[in-house]
Amino acid sequence: MKSIDLIKTLVEKELREYEGDSNMVPLIPHKTPAADIDPEEHTPTDTDHLYKLAVKARIATEELVKQLDEPIYDGAYEHAFKATMSLRHALNQLIALGAEPKEEDRIVAPPKDDQPGNNSGGFVPMTYSGGSAV
């Protein structure tokens, strides 16, 4: 059997399979849902822009903290370190206000209340006695 005859046979078989279904067009690949563009795709907002600026500032202050790691710079180091902590809070606050950063832009841990395993009641020690702490 020649290759052209094989192709004709496959085409005829394909046509017979879809003969009764008017929704299917034979031999044409159909678009999959994964190829569709999400209509609710996130468009950047002002809060997203501010988040990106805060990320750049946080990275810059962390670099400054690294460079100030000598005893002569102790005062400046302390202030730069406090700045990185303040920027962490700013980043989390911007998320709370609606910023939707990409995963690679999430550079700080979420607030304590949003972390997994948080019991919001403080540390409760576990014991082997099955009840209260010893």
CA distance 50 to 73: 30
124 in a structural domain = no
98 in a structural domain = yes
8 in a structural domain = no
33 in a structural domain = no
Residue 69 near residue 77 (C-beta atoms within 8 A): yes
Whether the pTM exceeds 0.85: the reply is no
Percentage of the residues of the chain whose pLDDT score is greater than 90:
37
Structure-token match 């919001």, residue found: 120
**Degrees (nearest 5) of the Cα angle 44, 94, 117?**
115
7 in a structural domain = no
Residue 65 sits in which domain range? 46-108
At a CB cut-off of 8 Å and minimum separation 6, what does 101 contact? 48, 51, 52, 55, 95
Residue 46 near residue 94 (C-beta atoms within 8 A): no
24 in a structural domain = no
Which range in 83-87, 98-102, 126-130 is most confidently predicted, on average pLDDT?
83-87
34 in a structural domain = no
CA distance 81 to 100: 26
User: For residue range 36-82, what is the model confidence (pLDDT) as tens digits?
Assistant: 555 567 688 899 999 999 999 999 999 999 999 888 999 999 999 99
CA distance 103 to 53: 16
CA distances from 57 to 1, 64, 87, 91 (A): 70, 10, 8, 10
Query: How many structural domains comprise the chain?
Result: 1
Is the pLDDT at 26 greater than 60? The verdict is no
90 in a structural domain = yes
